[in-house]
């Protein structure tokens, strides 16, 4: 749930999504769900010459299982918050 929570904080930000088939799309993150499926608005294809069939694409839904990377703006990463959340998620559970 750590990544889901993290990506929810990036809604409305510009991201680049690289798919497993080497297509790279940039756009505004509209939403993300618990399976890390993402919806992008204002989509643009990075390599327009290689994928001209995608030029008309404006909004898209991307299934989480086909995503290789999601590149996010450096200034949008709160590393301390992310580290704290990772520590809490990996902390040993106390027995009741």
What confidence tens digit (pLDDT) does each residue in 53-74 have? Answer: 989 999 999 999 999 999 988 8
Give yes or no for a contact between 29 and 42, defined as CB atoms under 8 angstroms apart: no
The answer to whether residue 94 sits within a structural domain is no
Confidence (pLDDT) at 96: 59
The answer to whether residue 17 sits within a structural domain is yes
Q: Whole domain around residue 24: which residue ranges? A: 2-87
20 backbone dihedrals φ, ψ, rounded to 5°: -65, -20
In whole numbers, what is the pLDDT of the chain averaged over residues?
87
Between 86 and 10, residue with greater pLDDT: 10
Give yes or no for a contact between 26 and 2, defined as CB atoms under 8 angstroms apart: no
The answer to whether residue 7 sits within a structural domain is yes
For residue 73, give both structure tokens. Answer: 């703006």
């Amino acid at each position: 749930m750590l990544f889901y929570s993290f990506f929810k904080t990036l809604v409305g930000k510009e991201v680049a999504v690289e798919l497993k088939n080497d297509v790279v799309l940039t756009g505004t993150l509209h939403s993300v769900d618990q399976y890390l499926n993402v919806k992008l608005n204002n989509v643009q294809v990075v390599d327009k010459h290689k994928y001209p069939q995608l030029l008309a694409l404006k909004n898209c839904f991307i299934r989480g299982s086909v995503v290789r990377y999601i590149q996010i703006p450096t200034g949008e990463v709160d590393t301390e918050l992310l580290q704290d959340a990772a520590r809490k998620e990996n902390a040993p559970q106390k027995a009741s």
